[in-house]
Amino acid sequence: MNASPIKIAIIDMYNGSPNVGMQCIDNILHHWATTISRPIEKTIFHLRDQCQVPDLSFDIYISTGGPGSPTDTINETWDQQYVAWLDQAFLHQKWVFLICHSFQIACRHFNIGKISLRRSRQIGILPVHPLVKDDLFEGLKDPFYTLESRYYQITEPNDAAIAAMGAQIIILEKERPSVPLERAIMGVKFNNQMYGVQFHPEADPSLLDPYFTQSEVKDSMIESFGELKWKKTHHSIKDPSKVEATFSIMIPNFLNKAIQE
Protein backbone atom coordinates (compact mmCIF):
# COMPACT_ATOMS: atom_id res chain seq x y z
CA MET A 1 0.00 0.00 0.00
CA ASN A 2 1.25 3.47 -0.88
CA ALA A 3 2.48 5.09 2.35
CA SER A 4 1.40 8.58 1.35
CA PRO A 5 -2.19 9.23 2.52
CA ILE A 6 -4.70 11.11 0.40
CA LYS A 7 -5.76 14.13 2.45
CA ILE A 8 -9.53 14.69 2.34
CA ALA A 9 -11.41 17.58 3.95
CA ILE A 10 -15.09 17.11 4.80
CA ILE A 11 -16.96 20.39 5.27
CA ASP A 12 -19.88 19.56 7.56
CA MET A 13 -22.92 21.74 6.78
CA TYR A 14 -25.28 20.01 9.23
CA ASN A 15 -25.04 22.80 11.84
CA GLY A 16 -24.06 20.58 14.74
CA SER A 17 -26.83 18.03 14.21
CA PRO A 18 -26.06 14.33 13.64
CA ASN A 19 -26.99 13.28 10.11
CA VAL A 20 -26.92 10.04 8.17
CA GLY A 21 -25.22 11.88 5.29
CA MET A 22 -21.93 12.02 7.20
CA GLN A 23 -21.95 8.26 7.73
CA CYS A 24 -22.78 7.76 4.04
CA ILE A 25 -19.74 9.81 3.02
CA ASP A 26 -17.57 7.91 5.48
CA ASN A 27 -18.75 4.59 4.00
CA ILE A 28 -17.89 5.74 0.46
CA LEU A 29 -14.41 6.91 1.48
CA HIS A 30 -13.66 3.73 3.41
CA HIS A 31 -14.70 1.49 0.53
CA TRP A 32 -12.89 3.63 -2.05
CA ALA A 33 -9.64 3.65 -0.06
CA THR A 34 -9.81 -0.14 0.20
CA THR A 35 -10.50 -0.47 -3.53
CA ILE A 36 -7.51 1.65 -4.59
CA SER A 37 -5.25 0.31 -1.81
CA ARG A 38 -4.35 3.79 -0.59
CA PRO A 39 -4.64 5.22 2.92
CA ILE A 40 -6.72 8.35 3.41
CA GLU A 41 -6.46 11.05 6.04
CA LYS A 42 -9.88 12.57 6.67
CA THR A 43 -10.46 15.83 8.54
CA ILE A 44 -13.93 17.17 9.37
CA PHE A 45 -14.55 20.92 9.46
CA HIS A 46 -17.66 22.04 11.35
CA LEU A 47 -18.60 25.09 9.33
CA ARG A 48 -21.98 26.41 10.43
CA ASP A 49 -21.75 25.87 14.19
CA GLN A 50 -18.00 26.41 14.67
CA CYS A 51 -16.96 28.52 11.63
CA GLN A 52 -14.26 26.03 10.63
CA VAL A 53 -13.00 26.12 7.04
CA PRO A 54 -10.12 24.10 5.58
CA ASP A 55 -6.97 25.56 4.11
CA LEU A 56 -5.81 24.68 0.60
CA SER A 57 -3.42 21.89 1.61
CA PHE A 58 -5.89 19.04 1.08
CA ASP A 59 -6.03 16.84 -2.01
CA ILE A 60 -9.84 16.55 -2.10
CA TYR A 61 -12.75 18.42 -0.53
CA ILE A 62 -16.32 17.20 -0.02
CA SER A 63 -18.89 19.73 1.22
CA THR A 64 -22.13 18.26 2.53
CA GLY A 65 -25.81 18.97 2.38
CA GLY A 66 -27.59 20.61 5.29
CA PRO A 67 -30.80 22.21 6.51
CA GLY A 68 -32.24 25.65 5.92
CA SER A 69 -32.23 28.41 3.35
CA PRO A 70 -29.20 28.97 1.08
CA THR A 71 -30.04 32.68 0.84
CA ASP A 72 -30.95 33.79 4.37
CA THR A 73 -27.43 33.27 5.75
CA ILE A 74 -25.58 35.54 3.32
CA ASN A 75 -24.58 37.96 6.11
CA GLU A 76 -23.58 35.30 8.63
CA THR A 77 -19.90 34.84 9.41
CA TRP A 78 -19.74 31.19 8.47
CA ASP A 79 -21.40 31.85 5.09
CA GLN A 80 -18.95 34.66 4.29
CA GLN A 81 -16.02 32.46 5.26
CA TYR A 82 -17.39 29.67 3.11
CA VAL A 83 -17.81 31.72 -0.07
CA ALA A 84 -14.34 33.21 0.42
CA TRP A 85 -13.05 29.63 0.61
CA LEU A 86 -15.02 28.73 -2.53
CA ASP A 87 -13.30 31.57 -4.39
CA GLN A 88 -9.88 30.34 -3.33
CA ALA A 89 -10.66 26.70 -4.11
CA PHE A 90 -11.93 27.72 -7.56
CA LEU A 91 -8.91 29.97 -8.22
CA HIS A 92 -6.41 27.31 -7.15
CA GLN A 93 -8.26 24.54 -9.01
CA LYS A 94 -8.78 22.36 -5.97
CA TRP A 95 -10.81 19.15 -6.28
CA VAL A 96 -14.16 19.98 -4.69
CA PHE A 97 -17.47 18.11 -4.62
CA LEU A 98 -20.48 20.12 -3.40
CA ILE A 99 -23.65 18.38 -2.22
CA CYS A 100 -27.15 19.93 -2.06
CA HIS A 101 -26.98 22.86 0.41
CA SER A 102 -23.32 23.47 -0.43
CA PHE A 103 -24.21 23.42 -4.11
CA GLN A 104 -27.03 25.90 -3.59
CA ILE A 105 -24.72 28.37 -1.83
CA ALA A 106 -22.11 27.99 -4.58
CA CYS A 107 -24.77 28.66 -7.23
CA ARG A 108 -25.87 31.74 -5.30
CA HIS A 109 -22.31 32.99 -4.89
CA PHE A 110 -21.24 32.40 -8.49
CA ASN A 111 -24.59 33.71 -9.81
CA ILE A 112 -25.35 30.50 -11.72
CA GLY A 113 -29.12 31.02 -11.73
CA LYS A 114 -32.19 31.98 -9.76
CA ILE A 115 -32.57 30.34 -6.34
CA SER A 116 -36.16 30.01 -5.16
CA LEU A 117 -38.44 27.94 -2.99
CA ARG A 118 -40.22 25.11 -4.72
CA ARG A 119 -44.01 25.01 -4.54
CA SER A 120 -43.58 22.01 -2.25
CA ARG A 121 -40.73 19.95 -0.84
CA GLN A 122 -39.17 17.44 -3.19
CA ILE A 123 -38.32 14.13 -1.56
CA GLY A 124 -37.80 10.63 -2.91
CA ILE A 125 -35.69 8.55 -5.28
CA LEU A 126 -36.06 10.37 -8.58
CA PRO A 127 -34.50 10.39 -12.05
CA VAL A 128 -32.11 13.09 -13.23
CA HIS A 129 -30.55 13.54 -16.66
CA PRO A 130 -26.87 14.05 -17.51
CA LEU A 131 -26.40 16.59 -20.31
CA VAL A 132 -22.74 16.04 -21.21
CA LYS A 133 -20.21 13.28 -21.51
CA ASP A 134 -18.00 13.38 -18.42
CA ASP A 135 -16.00 10.87 -16.39
CA LEU A 136 -18.30 11.70 -13.47
CA PHE A 137 -21.09 9.77 -15.23
CA GLU A 138 -19.04 6.76 -16.29
CA GLY A 139 -21.17 3.69 -15.55
CA LEU A 140 -24.39 5.67 -14.96
CA LYS A 141 -27.41 5.58 -17.25
CA ASP A 142 -29.59 8.37 -18.63
CA PRO A 143 -31.57 8.90 -16.54
CA PHE A 144 -29.93 7.80 -13.33
CA TYR A 145 -31.65 7.83 -9.96
CA THR A 146 -30.73 9.59 -6.77
CA LEU A 147 -32.11 10.75 -3.45
CA GLU A 148 -33.64 14.22 -3.49
CA SER A 149 -34.61 16.07 -0.33
CA ARG A 150 -34.95 19.78 -1.00
CA TYR A 151 -37.16 22.81 -0.61
CA TYR A 152 -35.16 24.99 -3.01
CA GLN A 153 -34.30 24.94 -6.69
CA ILE A 154 -31.98 26.68 -9.16
CA THR A 155 -33.60 27.77 -12.43
CA GLU A 156 -33.18 30.53 -15.05
CA PRO A 157 -29.46 29.96 -15.69
CA ASN A 158 -27.29 33.06 -15.98
CA ASP A 159 -25.62 32.17 -19.26
CA ALA A 160 -23.25 35.16 -19.18
CA ALA A 161 -21.93 34.37 -15.69
CA ILE A 162 -21.65 30.67 -16.48
CA ALA A 163 -19.67 31.37 -19.65
CA ALA A 164 -17.43 33.96 -17.97
CA MET A 165 -16.22 31.50 -15.35
CA GLY A 166 -16.01 28.57 -17.77
CA ALA A 167 -18.69 26.61 -15.96
CA GLN A 168 -21.16 24.18 -17.47
CA ILE A 169 -24.60 22.89 -16.50
CA ILE A 170 -24.24 19.11 -16.56
CA ILE A 171 -27.47 17.70 -15.02
CA LEU A 172 -31.15 18.66 -15.18
CA GLU A 173 -34.05 17.39 -13.11
CA LYS A 174 -36.49 14.80 -14.42
CA GLU A 175 -38.55 15.54 -17.52
CA ARG A 176 -42.11 16.61 -16.68
CA PRO A 177 -44.05 17.03 -19.94
CA SER A 178 -47.31 17.62 -18.08
CA VAL A 179 -45.87 20.37 -15.84
CA PRO A 180 -45.47 23.80 -17.49
CA LEU A 181 -42.46 24.73 -15.34
CA GLU A 182 -38.78 25.08 -16.10
CA ARG A 183 -36.67 22.08 -15.15
CA ALA A 184 -34.26 22.81 -12.30
CA ILE A 185 -30.47 22.73 -12.61
CA MET A 186 -29.30 19.61 -10.80
CA GLY A 187 -25.58 19.67 -11.46
CA VAL A 188 -22.85 22.13 -12.44
CA LYS A 189 -19.22 21.69 -13.39
CA PHE A 190 -17.82 24.99 -12.08
CA ASN A 191 -14.39 24.24 -13.57
CA ASN A 192 -12.47 21.07 -14.38
CA GLN A 193 -12.02 20.28 -10.68
CA MET A 194 -15.10 21.67 -8.89
CA TYR A 195 -18.41 19.83 -9.24
CA GLY A 196 -21.72 20.34 -7.49
CA VAL A 197 -25.07 18.54 -7.45
CA GLN A 198 -28.57 19.35 -6.14
CA PHE A 199 -29.17 15.84 -4.74
CA HIS A 200 -27.51 13.24 -2.54
CA PRO A 201 -25.24 10.87 -4.48
CA GLU A 202 -23.72 9.83 -1.14
CA ALA A 203 -27.02 8.21 -0.10
CA ASP A 204 -26.16 4.67 1.00
CA PRO A 205 -29.15 2.31 0.62
CA SER A 206 -27.96 0.24 3.57
CA LEU A 207 -28.47 3.35 5.75
CA LEU A 208 -31.48 4.79 3.92
CA ASP A 209 -33.57 1.67 4.43
CA PRO A 210 -33.56 1.81 8.25
CA TYR A 211 -33.84 5.62 8.13
CA PHE A 212 -37.02 5.66 6.03
CA THR A 213 -38.59 2.86 8.07
CA GLN A 214 -38.21 4.74 11.37
CA SER A 215 -41.74 5.38 12.59
CA GLU A 216 -41.32 9.16 12.89
CA VAL A 217 -39.81 9.47 9.39
CA LYS A 218 -42.34 7.12 7.82
CA ASP A 219 -45.33 8.74 9.54
CA SER A 220 -44.17 12.26 8.65
CA MET A 221 -43.67 11.34 5.01
CA ILE A 222 -47.05 9.62 4.75
CA GLU A 223 -48.76 12.59 6.40
CA SER A 224 -47.10 15.06 3.99
CA PHE A 225 -47.06 13.07 0.74
CA GLY A 226 -49.26 10.00 1.16
CA GLU A 227 -48.56 6.31 1.69
CA LEU A 228 -47.96 5.64 -2.00
CA LYS A 229 -45.05 8.11 -2.05
CA TRP A 230 -43.46 6.42 0.94
CA LYS A 231 -43.92 2.95 -0.57
CA LYS A 232 -42.41 4.04 -3.91
CA THR A 233 -39.44 5.62 -2.14
CA HIS A 234 -38.85 2.57 0.04
CA HIS A 235 -39.10 0.24 -2.96
CA SER A 236 -36.62 2.35 -4.95
CA ILE A 237 -34.11 2.27 -2.10
CA LYS A 238 -34.05 -1.52 -2.42
CA ASP A 239 -33.70 -1.44 -6.23
CA PRO A 240 -29.98 -1.96 -7.04
CA SER A 241 -30.36 -0.17 -10.40
CA LYS A 242 -31.40 3.09 -8.70
CA VAL A 243 -29.88 4.69 -5.62
CA GLU A 244 -27.38 1.84 -5.14
CA ALA A 245 -25.91 2.48 -8.60
CA THR A 246 -25.47 6.20 -7.99
CA PHE A 247 -24.03 5.65 -4.50
CA SER A 248 -21.42 3.21 -5.76
CA ILE A 249 -20.45 5.19 -8.88
CA MET A 250 -20.69 8.99 -8.81
CA ILE A 251 -18.53 10.14 -5.89
CA PRO A 252 -16.02 7.30 -6.46
CA ASN A 253 -15.74 8.52 -10.08
CA PHE A 254 -15.00 12.01 -8.79
CA LEU A 255 -12.40 10.68 -6.33
CA ASN A 256 -10.74 8.67 -9.09
CA LYS A 257 -10.58 11.76 -11.33
CA ALA A 258 -8.95 13.69 -8.51
CA ILE A 259 -6.15 11.24 -7.80
CA GLN A 260 -5.48 10.61 -11.50
CA GLU A 261 -4.59 14.29 -11.80
How sure is the predictor about 3, in pLDDT bands with cuts at 50, 70 and 90? low
pTM (predicted TM-score):
0.94
Measured N-to-C along each axis, helices 101-109 and 77-91 cross at an angle, to the nearest 10 degrees, of 80
Q: Which region among 1-5, 39-43, 159-163, 171-175 has the lowest average model confidence (pLDDT)?
A: 1-5
CA 64 to CA 146: how far, in whole Å? 15
Measured N-to-C along each axis, helices 227-237 and 205-213 cross at an angle, to the nearest 10 degrees, of 150
Q: Which region among 31-40, 205-214, 247-256 has the lowest average model confidence (pLDDT)?
A: 205-214
Residue 109's φ and ψ, nearest 5 degrees, are: -65, -45
CB burial string 197-232: b at 16+ within 10 A, e below = bbbbbbbbbebbeeebeeeeebeebeeebeeeebee
Q: What is the pLDDT of residues 191-235, one digit of tens each?
A: 999 999 999 999 999 988 888 888 888 888 898 888 988 888 888
Residue 56's φ and ψ, nearest 5 degrees, are: -100, 20
Instruction: Please give the torsion angle defined by the CA atoms of residues 232, 235, 240 and 244, in that order, rounded to the nearest 10 degrees.
Output: 70
Long-range contacts made by residues 221-229, C-beta under 8 angstroms, separation at least 24?
Answer: 221/123, 224/121, 225/123, 229/123, 229/124
Comparing CA positions, the residue from 107, 97, 104 lying closest to residue 148 is 104
What is the per-residue pLDDT for 259?
95
What is the per-residue pLDDT for 1?
46
Q: Which region among 108-117, 176-185, 221-230, 244-253 has the lowest average model confidence (pLDDT)?
A: 176-185
Q: Are 98 and 195 in contact (CB under 8 A)?
A: yes
Q: Is the pLDDT of residue 2 over 60?
A: no
Q: Are 227 and 181 in contact (CB under 8 A)?
A: no
Secondary structure (DSSP) of 209-261: HHHHHSHHHHHHHHHHH-HHHHHHHHHHHT-TTTHHHHHHHHHHHHHHHHHH-
Pairing of strands 168-173, 114-130: antiparallel
Q: Are 67 and 17 in contact (CB under 8 A)?
A: yes
CA 109 to CA 154: how far, in whole Å? 12
Q: Is the pLDDT of residue 79 over 80?
A: yes
- The top-level CATH class assigned to 6-117+152-202+245-260 is alpha beta
CA 96 to CA 86: how far, in whole Å? 9
CA 152 to CA 99: how far, in whole Å? 13
